[in-house]
Structure 1
Amino acid sequence: MSKKLGVIFDSTDRIIRNKDVQDTSTKISPRSSKYKSQHKKPEQQASLLDFVKPKPKSQRQIKANKLKKTHLTITRSSYIVYKRKGKTRLDSKKKITRLKRSVRVYRTSKKAEREVAEQELKGVPGVALDINTKVIPVEQQVQNLSLSDTPTPKDDLQAKAVHSIHSRRFRSYCDNCTRPRLKELTIQLLKDLDRFQKRAFAKNEIKARAHPRLILGVREALARLRINKVKLLFLATDCEICPGESGLDETIEGLKFQCQQQQVPYCFPLQRRELSYALQKRAQISCVAILDFDGANATYADLLNEIQDARAEYKRRTAS
């Protein structure tokens, strides 16, 4: 009986040892189905770290991650044109504003006058054509001048209106001098407000569109002036010449009149190309209206003082 027990004990002990060896050589896979796919290869083994839950993030970390994700670089301008809702016509005609139409008409008339003058002077050098198409030498025209050809009082008034300091780059509608300090403050204010506006668009575009910092263009500036939203107005010093009713000259005078009525400060600090360069735009800008200058209050206050000094200097230079 003792021999039988010894044989059974030896066989059971052998079986147990073989099982232990097999268990250590084979892969120990977790029972949870969530982690089965992580240990498909035999050399990979599960550990207790697979079942440890990560520490939940705090609200401060979540907000920081959101700001990192939404801090995007805006390649295009902040004024992104989206597809309009409603009907889409195949042959849609772009609407031309009244101001743009008057500018185009003036351009075509000037071009036609220039072409006519070139055709008249193309024949013989040093010779001009009379109204009745008679060839008259230039020397004879100078001799034929009489007292009747002297300028009229109206011409004198027009000549006095345009001072010697005015030029093509600094037109007669400007009423302040362009000083270096004025240019520097204007560029600094425009860059700061443009940066604030782009940052607001990156965070929440809907709110940024509802509360813009600055707007561009004569039409947008007129619309905001009607509802008393403009805090400061910048106009270019070299806007295109366009006289006549609803022309650019009359529009600029209307902008100045509305600013004076509402006591809104305005100035003429930069040229069109300089305004577009300050705002990183390709097209030339003739008008910029500031609607909200929070964050740049010191620059705004210094700019107002500099505008008064520049206007006083202009009056002093044009008085003589």
Structure 2
Amino acid sequence: MVPRLRPLSSRLRRTLSAALVTAALAVPAMGAAGPADVPAPAPTAPAAVGTVSTATLAERYAATRTDIVAAERMAAAHGDRGRATALTGMADPARQFLFFDGRDGGRSGEVFGDLATAQRIAVLVPGADTDFDSYGRLRADATALQRQSGDGSAVIAWLGYRTPSTKEPAILTADRADQAAPGLQRFVAQLRAARPGSRLSVLCHSYGSVVCGRAASGLDVSDLVLFGSPGTGYDNVAALHTKATVWAGRGATDWIADVPHLKLELPFTTVGFGTDPVSPGFGARVFAAGSGGHSDYFKPGSPALTGIARIVLGQTPAPAGTPAGRDA
């Protein structure tokens, strides 16, 4: 006689599910480092965007560059050559930063394109393990998107929060997103006031989509684009309380697909981010993202980059599963 197996208790199911979430999020990024605490002076340039014109932007970029140079000098004096080198590159006169703060892992907003004349503006919100030491990845993505979007478009790389490391428990909760959301809402509101006639989109990669989920109800934008997302922390688009069109995409080889889409209410926190944004139940408009992996959404020539750029331009991207959305 075969013994009858007892069903798992709800507590055991929650424990096993939490373990699955931890493994799925942490294992693909083993070796990734969190943001370093390197001393930096308080910024002197104003945090608010203010009036946007060619003249005022030139002054603002120059003032922010002064803050970057001051942070570079302090990092060098502290003996952190890696951070000092990264900041030296950011202080290049050809680069354009709306805001900068070298403290607490670093905050910055870099502009790609001409913000003073842009009719289409995209704010790119990065995910985990993004800081000044790894900033090159975010910069490359923003550069690729601006080139794909063409003249009349500007992209802002918004590193406006301390991103979690994939090696720390914060990656499993929305705590960092809760801290980041008000800043993203203020920044987008300032852009809307400064460029009232421009089309605004917010693009959210990986953990950045959790930030966007938390901020969604306070973002006056045309489009909210989620890609490489572990979930938003909400069950569906309606729960985001946004008037924006919500898009979602995921590359065929993105490891984020293996993350259990769970939301577990534990005694002191909530673990996981719930419904998969590309699932029919979430209700987003799913665009073709090709065969790329988690870091390939802005790869030149890719269906993902083409689709995201079309959204920024106010055009319709290829739907998922169509020949037009497959890699060449």
Q: TM-score, normalised by structure 1?
A: 0.21
With CA pairs under 8 Å and 6+ residues apart, which has the higher RCO, 1 or 2? 1
More strand by share: 2
More helix by share: 1
